[in-house]
């Protein structure tokens, strides 16, 4: 186990700061984030043009380095060398928390391996921001980011997650939201969802309802802007159905019978152990 302690001024190395940026409204930038971006030696930006606009707005003149998924492999050794030379770096994404949907995670791992201090600043996160205003259960929740694009892969993904009790959070292109919801409806059934667009911006909008209801609305009101989809967790009924589908109930009963129990005793025990309806276990064993 590695224990890393950060004591300002004690290490000869620089510090890697993970700095969140606004997801739309520039007023969401924190005072601390501005101060850090001004004080570091270099800013590692996913897109220097986008970050350049942010820096100009806050009168930040720190030098930028392009750092994105296509050049991360070659750039990380150079960035680590800068940090070991005593330079401090800030890593930012185009919007929101870094290291979620960009190569920042690989940079963090490399820094930790070299015993370089990593400091994360709190700030804007689209998934959590949408979640707490969605009306869906905030706990437990699970964030998946972007979904597979192909319908078959999406449906297979949803089949795996169908019985999860957590509220699920996805990013999606506005051009694919309706198709994605059609695939979700087929696998999940008509579950409660929230589609969010343009979070923190002028045309921020939440569409809440059953999947079928939101699909009807979207057929008449095409989406524009950045979107999130939040899906309510599976009900007890769905989780029970999924549990039954994945259990070989007849085999479980047969095992107990082979150990000397009577069929009715075995059926009762399997039902109790797996929190199943006794009649369903009876039907599964007798193949009714």
More reliable by pLDDT, 4 or 277: 277
Max distance between CA atoms of the chain, in angstroms, equals 80
Say what the pLDDT of residue 116 is. 96
pLDDT score of 248 more than 60: yes
Q: Are 152 and 44 in contact (CB under 8 A)?
A: no
What pLDDT is stored for residue 103 in this prediction?
A: 82
| Out of 21-30, 121-130, 164-173, 265-274, least confident range | 265-274
Instruction: Report pLDDT digits (tens) over 118-159.
Output: 999 999 999 999 999 999 999 999 999 999 999 999 999 999
pLDDT at residue 97 greater than cutoff 60: yes
Per-residue pLDDT at 255: 87
DSSP 147: P
Predicted local confidence at residue 209, as pLDDT: 97
Quick one: what percent of the chain has pLDDT higher than 70?
A: 93
* Torsion from C-alpha of 176, 101, 54, 19, nearest 10 degrees: 150
User: Range with the lowest mean pLDDT among 4-8, 51-55, 226-230, 249-253?
Assistant: 4-8
The least confident of 3-12, 94-103, 140-149, 196-205 is: 3-12
- Domain layout of the chain by residue ranges: 15-124, 127-235, 247-286
Dist CA 148 CA 180 (whole Å): 10
Percent of all residues in the chain with a pLDDT value above 90, rounded to a whole number: 72
- Give me the pLDDT at residue 204, please: 95
**Closest Cα partner for 243 from 141, 164, 156?**
164
Task: Quote the pLDDT of residue 253.
Answer: 86
Q: How do strand 167-172 and strand 117-120 relate by DSSP bridges? A: unpaired
What is d(CA 218, CA 87) in angstroms, rounded to the nearest whole number? 50
From 55-64, 212-221, 259-268, the region with the lowest mean pLDDT:
259-268
The two structure tokens encoding residue 226:
């950045």
Q: How far apart are CA 282 and CA 267, in angstroms?
A: 6
Q: What is the pLDDT of residue 201?
A: 94
Q: Which of 153, 146, 160, 12 is nearest to 86 (CA)?
A: 12
Q: What is the DSSP string of 173-223?
A: -TTTHHHHHHHHHHHH-S-EEEEEESTTSTT-EEEEEEHHHHHHHHHHS--
Give the mean pLDDT of 50-62: 96
Check residue 110 and report its DSSP letter.
H
* pLDDT, greater one: 187 or 253: 187
pLDDT of residue 275 exceeding 80? no
Ramachandran area for residue 11 (φ above 0: left; ψ -120 to 50: alpha; else beta): beta
Residue 215: cis peptide before it, omega within 30 degrees of 0? no
Taking 80 as the threshold, does the pLDDT of residue 38 lie above it? Answer: yes
CA distance 171 to 188: 18
Closest listed residue to residue 62, CA positions, set 35, 31, 39? 39
The CATH architecture annotation of domain 127-235 reads 2-Layer Sandwich (3.30)
Residue-by-residue DSSP string for 217-260:
HHHHS---S-EEEEEPPPPHHHHHHHHHHHS-HHHHHHHHHHTT
What pLDDT is recorded for position 237?
73
CATH 3.30.450.40 assigned to 15-124: no
- Of residues 81 and 69, the one with the higher pLDDT is 81
Model pLDDT, residue 235: 79
Q: Which pLDDT tens digit goes with each residue over 174-208?
A: 999 999 999 999 999 999 999 999 999 999 999 99
Query: What does the pLDDT average to over 61-79?
Result: 94
- Tell whether the model's pLDDT for residue 165 goes beyond 70: yes
């Amino acid at each position: 186990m590695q224990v890393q302690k950060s004591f300002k001024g004690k290490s000869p190395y620089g510090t890697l700061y993970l700095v969140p940026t606004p997801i739309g409204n520039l007023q969401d930038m924190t005072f601390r984030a501005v101060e850090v971006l001004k004080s570091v030696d270099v800013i590692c930006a996913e897109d220097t043009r986008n970050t350049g606009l942010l820096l100009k707005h806050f009168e930040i003149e720190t030098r930028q380095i392009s750092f994105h998924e296509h050049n991360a492999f070659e750039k990380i050794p150079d960035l680590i060398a800068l940090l070991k030379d005593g330079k401090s770096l800030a890593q930012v994404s185009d919007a929101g928390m870094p290291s979620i949907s960009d190569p920042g995670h690989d940079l963090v791992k490399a820094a930790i391996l070299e015993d370089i201090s990593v400091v994360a600043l709190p700030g804007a996160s689209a998934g959590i921001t949408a979640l707490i205003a969605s009306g869906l259960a905030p706990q437990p929740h699970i964030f998946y980011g972007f979904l597979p694009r192909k319908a078959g892969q999406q449906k297979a993904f949803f089949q795996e997650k169908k019985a999860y009790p957590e509220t699920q959070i996805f990013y999606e292109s506005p051009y694919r939201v309706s198709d994605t919801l059609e695939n979700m409806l087929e696998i999940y059934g008509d579950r409660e969802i929230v589609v969010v667009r343009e979070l923190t911006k002028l045309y921020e909008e939440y569409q809440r309802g059953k999947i079928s209801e939101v699909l009807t609305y979207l057929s008449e009101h095409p989406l524009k802007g950045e979107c999130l989809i939040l899906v309510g967790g599976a009900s007890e009924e769905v989780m029970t159905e999924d549990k039954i589908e994945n259990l070989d109930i007849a085999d479980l009963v047969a095992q107990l019978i082979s150990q000397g129990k009577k069929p009715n005793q075995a059926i009762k025990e399997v039902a109790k152990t797996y929190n199943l309806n006794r009649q369903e276990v009876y039907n599964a064993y007798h193949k009714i």
